[in-house]
Amino acid sequence: MKHIFYWISCLALLLSACKDNDNEDLIGVDAVLYKQILTAYVDATVIPTYRALAEAALEMRVANEALKTSPSNATMQAASDAWMNARVWWELSEAFLFGPVGENALDIDGHIDSWPLELGDIQAELASGAGLTGREAWQKEPEVIGFHVTEYLLYRDGRSRPVADLSEAERNYLTAATDALVWDCVLAYVAWVGEENVPAEMRAVFRENPDVVAHLENSAYYKNFAEKLVNATGYASWSDALGEIATGASEIAGEVGATKIEAPYAGHNVMEVESWYSWHSLDDYRNNILSIKNAYLGGVDANTRQTHTLGKRVSQLDPALDASIRAKIEDCLDKIAAIGAGGKSFYEVVRDQINARQVEAAVDACIELQQLFDALPDIL
């Protein structure tokens, strides 16, 4: 009897899926399975990550307001810690920069995480005494806002700056840039899950800036993108929808290896090192690989892993490839950490051109991981 109820439920889910997608590959239990994988991916990995990012950004706003009104080394440290927490959640999202966050959509990634900074423009703004507002900051070029300008204002040489070094103009800029950052983080959450499905506090923050609301309205296709991905709406097939997860993982693996690690080291250019004011670069890169791990195995950490995942499907189709991917993810994590041998930050590694062997090994591991994920669309 249990088997009968199972197949009835599968058929019901399949028929529901057919309403959302007319593709030929809907026939069969694979369609049910793929929808289960996509649902778990969205519900247990993507949405919790963006929710945590939005919440962390709001905590950052509170901390920076406290720093502005009551400057002290304690409030400065609290603001720096809040930046670090938000930064971790952003980097944990980078395996799914497709959809609303990507450059061909709302381009939240470009707006929130551009570097190097245009320091000359930042200094000119600070010197002008114009009193930048959050709405004005959100409209500026990404090289003068986002994570890295707030990092620049809070950190020097891997440490929170002494509060005495932070001018009133810098505190004002920090709160304005933080408002812009908050709106981008909340926008990512709202675009994925749908405005009607976020807590009232988040809806209120999203509605603070009419420009942010209009930005999403002008790209209406990306509203409630989670529902579109779960139902493969706009995809040629269920396999293509599932392949989006693999493509997102592939792209960030390649970016970590070639752009974030190899390019600045090979070019001897510390200005290309991401998060170098806080010396958080190697943690950023490892968190990018952890975002791949979460996308592949489900959940946001070891305690929230899922039954229906891309990894589980690959293990059924090609056990050897699945084993290689799992091993290479761990290999990347270990080899990125090894770049900091001797207690060095990546900024110091690039500046002093040391640990070349470890850098090369990490780059190779990331490119190998990218290649493994590139093989997935052909077997899904």
Which two three-digit tokens encode residue 113?
């995480």
121-128 long-range contacts, CB within 8 A, separation 24+: 122/149, 122/152, 122/173, 125/173, 126/167, 126/169, 126/170, 126/173, 127/169
pLDDT greater than 70 at residue 19: no
Burial pattern 280-295, b for ≥16 Cβ within 10 A else e, equals bbbbbbbbbbbbbbbb
pLDDT greater than 80 at residue 13: no
User: What is residue 29's predicted lDDT score, i.e. its pLDDT?
Assistant: 53
Query: What is the percent of the chain with per-residue pLDDT over 90, rounded to a whole number?
Result: 90
Average pLDDT over residues 312-321: 97
d(C-alpha 351, C-alpha 330), whole Å? 27
Average pLDDT over residues 200-227: 97
Per-residue confidence at 30, pLDDT binned at 50, 70, 90?
A: confident
pTM over 0.85: yes
pLDDT greater than 90 at residue 7: no
The total of other beta-carbon atoms located within 10 Å of residue 371's CB is 14
Which secondary structure element, helix H or strand E, spans residue 369, and what is its range? helix 356-374
User: What is residue 129's predicted lDDT score, i.e. its pLDDT?
Assistant: 82
pLDDT greater than 80 at residue 39: yes
Q: Check: CB of residue 213 under 8 Å from CB of residue 207.
A: yes
User: 39, exposed or middle or buried, with CB in 10 Å at 0-12, 13-18, 19+?
Assistant: middle
d(C-alpha 50, C-alpha 57), whole Å? 10
The per-residue pLDDT of the chain, averaged, comes to 92
Q: Tens of pLDDT along 130-189? A: 889 999 999 999 999 999 999 999 999 999 999 999 999 999 999 999 999 999 999 999
pLDDT greater than 90 at residue 212: yes
Q: Tens of pLDDT along 220-238? A: 999 999 999 999 999 999 9
Which two three-digit tokens encode residue 41?
């991916």
pLDDT greater than 50 at residue 26: no
Query: What is the percent of the chain with per-residue pLDDT over 70, rounded to a whole number?
Result: 92
Phi, psi for 97 (deg, rounded to 5)? -85, 5
Which secondary structure element, helix H or strand E, spans residue 248, and what is its range? helix 238-254
User: What is residue 3's predicted lDDT score, i.e. its pLDDT?
Assistant: 39
d(C-alpha 22, C-alpha 1), whole Å? 31
